[in-house]
Structure 1
Amino acid sequence: MTEASTVVRVAARGEGVTADGRHVPFAAPGDRLLENGMIEAGPHHQTPPCRHFPECGGCQLQHLDDAAWSQFIVDRIAGALAGQGLSAEIRAPALSPPRTRRRATLHAEPSGRVGFAVEKSHAIVDLAECHVLAPELFALVAPLRRLIHVLRPRRRLDIHLTLADQGVDLLVNGIMPEGLAAAEAITAFAETNRLARMAFDEGYGPEARWEPDAVTITLGGVPVPLPPASFLQATREGEAALVQAVKSIVGEASIVADLFAGLGTFAFAMPGRVYAAEAGREAIMALKAAAARSHRQVFTEHRDLYRRPLTPAELDRFGAIVIDPPRAGAKEQAEALAASRAPRLAYVSCNPSSFARDVKVITEGGWQIDWIQPVGQFRWSTHVELAASLSRNS
């Protein structure tokens, strides 16, 4: 067996790559590709813990141990930077443990099947176990099957689950149940499973059918109103790692800009005054209400940062800037950041490619990358998150 047949890395989509460039599905670094096409497991190849792997699209990397998964995350970021001619110190990834995902979208068929979609397919894996979902979320899978039979949907449903302060917040997209039998079934389901809220949306906006108390999510010690299916960091551990990294970058800055602020994950963790900009109306209104009730110095603006990014003159007023854009990145805002004179920048990203593209623009404006903290909060997936520290060249 030659060294050419040894798997040396894991590619972006999760397949192993041998030293001579062959791609091998479900192979880990250190595995060997035998002449008959079989894989001889190496030191980083673990037995996948879930019976649904690899059919279920919820995970792609259950065959990797934590060391190999960490290296995959680092390689993804380093590769994206190299593609832009950049390099930086990349710290050891912060990995979320199994069974800690606090938000997820499952799918349900009229037949009662409930689960994630099959990889690269619309078919649904009927979940019998799950090693990534928080137990509070997975506990609803079997009861949901029974509820689906009562509601009798005519098409596939999307079920958004979020673990809020008061319990599980559940939004069902694709149906608006009518009639006494449906109403009684929904109430019984919500009561029995101690839901925080249950809402339905047939395309005209969510309608809550059960919400005994106002639903909140605590961010930075502040209870924030939680609109249905709102964006949150996927795990508490992942959120804590990102917040810690951002706080270390911001330091003691007396006034901070939080761009693409969402519900305030970073805004409420900052020590000084915060300007928070967000395009989502429900999110920014929730942030504003929470700031007012908690008497925090967070000043909000409903602002589309793609159409109307902050100008260099506006950015220059802040001692530090935090930016956490969607997967597409923030090209227009990056151009303004490059021209600004703010001293410190925390860039949080869920897409190494758009991050590297934006940071290339920013560094060309006289900034440098100090370090990058990767975060693996989508357990055993190819999804990568990070927080990067940038500062002005002296």
Structure 2
Amino acid sequence: MNETIVRIAARGDGVTASGRHIQFAVPGDLLLDDGTIRQGPGHQVPPCRHFPECGGCQLQHLTDAAYSDYCISRVEGALAQHGLETEIRAPHLSPPRTRRRATLRALTAGGRVLIGFNQAGSNKIVDMMECHILHPRLFALLAPLRRLLPSILLPKRTAEVQLALADQGPDVLLKGVTVSGLEAVEALTAFSEGQSLARLAIDEGFGSEPRFEPQPVTVTLGGVPVALPVGAFLQATEDGEAALVAAVREAIAGAERIADLFAGLGTFAFSLEGHVTAAEASRDAVLAIKTVTGRAGKTIQAEHRDLYRRPLDSKELTAFDAVVLDPPRAGAVEQVRELANSAAPRIAYVSCNPATFARDAEILASGGYRLRWVRPVGQFRWSTHVELAAAFSR
């Protein structure tokens, strides 16, 4: 009996109403009796030659409309599992070739250097010859890296290549390599200068060490250049960051006393009005915020605090008109429990994991908060990774 594909599962497979999972199927497709797919209007021709082998993308076969529907369904499905529903706004999708942060793998094999994402579900590296998600300035580094790496890669060992775009240009961290001898050192300098890098750092197993940094590396957040520590977290795309910031500002508009929890380098803190208390576990990030707060004309108090071990308690939270929450993928159960018992009028919750967000949202709802709306954000275009911003109020 023919079956219609009704949704896409969390890992990217199409699913029928009876629960059959079909790889690369899209809602609206028809699964025929012989096991073949009659494609519906949600399909497009994948633009990249490496799809579907490369693990960087799982959903290049979806049109933008179908991908937007997927982002919405991921959030709706996660909320439904916890008995919640609310307004799901139209997703923001980052355009192709705008990713400013990525971690690739590198390995010498067959006398040449392979650089790219791992193959889906495998440790095999897909040697990247084109990419429709990376920013062109980052993709342009791959060919020069293939020339540089043979002298510093360890035999039969995979290295990690972390790429980011700073205000001054590309920021590169190479992990799992060995730089030995004058020739290798000179090659690093020549590569850095030739590619106009903002910074090149090396981690030989003892922590990262900048080897080339002609001027202090910064990233502009809320119009403020903030020091960018090696390997620090950045939102994946500038436009995605802007969409999240706009959602947070809307969710807490008018608040004068704001707690920014899991603040990072100040992605949200520097974009907010009023007095902001920014709590963050990374000492480097806290120092970066403190260094520029005064001269940026911002009223931000940065506090070094591990919010998993020592969340702000309900009494401390009474000092704030609004709370911004942007935890890692695991969510923030400990902090959310304190929020649920607090009198904080509004919460803006930014999440990179709809499942843990929904779990935390249920805790807040049980404490008397109303989930007003959610906006999905697809910074990791064509992947199953969906981010979101949400508004809660008492």
| TM-score, with structure 2 as normaliser | 0.97
Return the alpha-carbon distance in structure 1 between the equivalents of residues 205 and 350 of structure 2: 31
Pairs within 5 Å for 1:168-187: 168-187=170-189
Q: What's the counterpart of residue 100 of structure 2?
A: 102
Q: What's the counterpart of residue 130 of structure 2?
A: 129
2:72 and 2:88 in contact (8 A); partners too:
yes
Q: Which amino acid aligns with 2:98?
A: T
Return the alpha-carbon distance in structure 2 between the equivalents of residues 263 and 188 of structure 1: 31
Q: Which amino acid aligns with 1:136?
A: R
Q: Which amino acid aligns with 1:102?
A: R
1:245 aligns with 2:247: yes
1:12 and 1:76 in contact (8 A); partners too:
yes
CA positional deviation for 1:153: 2.5
1:29 and 1:45 in contact (8 A); partners too:
no
Unpaired runs of at least 5, structure 2: none
Deviation by residue 1:251-288 (Cα, 9 ceiling, x = unmatched): 12111100000000000000111000000111111121
1:16 and 1:29 in contact (8 A); partners too:
yes
Q: What's the counterpart of residue 84 of structure 1?
A: 82
The structure 2 residue matched to 1:306, chosen from 308, 313, 316, is 308
1:41 aligns with 2:39: yes
Deviation by residue 1:158-199 (Cα, 9 ceiling, x = unmatched): 010000000000000112412110011111111111100000
Give the secondary structure class of the aligned counterpart of 1:67. helix
Q: What's the counterpart of residue 61 of structure 2?
A: 63
Q: Which amino acid aligns with 2:49?
A: R
Q: Which amino acid aligns with 2:3?
A: S
Return the alpha-carbon distance in structure 2 between the equivalents of residues 152 and 351 of structure 1: 34
1:312 and 1:339 in contact (8 A); partners too:
yes
Q: What's the counterpart of residue 25 of structure 1?
A: 23
Q: What's the counterpart of residue 230 of structure 2?
A: 228
Deviation by residue 1:288-340 (Cα, 9 ceiling, x = unmatched): 11213323211011000011000111111111110000000000100100011
2:107 and 2:153 in contact (8 A); partners too:
no
**More moved, 150-159 vs 64-73:** 150-159
Q: What's the counterpart of residue 339 of structure 2?
A: 337
CA positional deviation for 1:72: 0.9
Q: Which amino acid aligns with 1:114?
A: I
Return the alpha-carbon distance in structure 1 between the equivalents of residues 290 and 120 of structure 2: 39
CA positional deviation for 1:125: 0.3
Q: What's the counterpart of residue 148 of structure 2?
A: 147
Q: Which amino acid aligns with 2:274?
A: G
The structure 2 residue matched to 1:53, chosen from 51, 54, 70, is 51
1:375 and 1:384 in contact (8 A); partners too:
yes
The structure 1 residue matched to 2:291, chosen from 289, 292, 307, is 289
CA positional deviation for 1:8: 1.5
1:118 aligns with 2:116: no
**More moved, 261-270 vs 201-210:** 201-210
**Residues 243 and 144 of structure 1: is their aligned pair in 2 closer, same or farther, counting only changes over 3 Å?**
same
Return the alpha-carbon distance in structure 2 between the equivalents of residues 157 and 133 of structure 1: 19
The structure 1 residue matched to 2:219, chosen from 203, 217, 220, is 217
**Residues 152 and 317 of structure 1: is their aligned pair in 2 closer, same or farther, counting only changes over 3 Å?**
closer
Q: What's the counterpart of residue 354 of structure 1?
A: 356
CA positional deviation for 1:353: 0.9
Return the alpha-carbon distance in structure 1 between the equivalents of residues 342 and 364 of structure 2: 9
Unpaired runs of at least 5, structure 1: none
Give 4+ residue runs of structure 1 displaced > 3 Å after superposition: none
Give the secondary structure class of the aligned counterpart of 1:293. coil
Return the alpha-carbon distance in structure 2 between the equivalents of residues 268 and 370 of structure 1: 24
**RMSD of aligned alpha carbons:** 1.0
Aligned pair count reads 390
Q: Which amino acid aligns with 2:310?
A: R
Q: Which amino acid aligns with 1:256?
A: I
The structure 2 residue matched to 1:322, chosen from 321, 324, 336, is 324
Q: Which amino acid aligns with 2:375?
A: Q
Give the secondary structure class of the aligned counterpart of 1:370. strand
Give the secondary structure class of the aligned counterpart of 2:172. strand
Q: What's the counterpart of residue 265 of structure 2?
A: 263
| TM-score, with structure 1 as normaliser | 0.97
2:154 and 2:178 in contact (8 A); partners too:
no
**Residues 22 and 152 of structure 1: is their aligned pair in 2 closer, same or farther, counting only changes over 3 Å?**
closer
2:347 and 2:393 in contact (8 A); partners too:
yes
CA positional deviation for 1:203: 2.3
Deviation by residue 1:71-90 (Cα, 9 ceiling, x = unmatched): 11111111111111111111
Give the secondary structure class of the aligned counterpart of 2:295. helix
2:153 and 2:178 in contact (8 A); partners too:
no
**More moved, 148-157 vs 77-86:** 148-157
CA positional deviation for 1:239: 0.2
Q: What's the counterpart of residue 15 of structure 1?
A: 13
Return the alpha-carbon distance in structure 2 between the equivalents of residues 46 and 384 of structure 1: 20
**Percent identity (aligned):** 60
Give the secondary structure class of the aligned counterpart of 1:161. strand
CA positional deviation for 1:38: 2.1
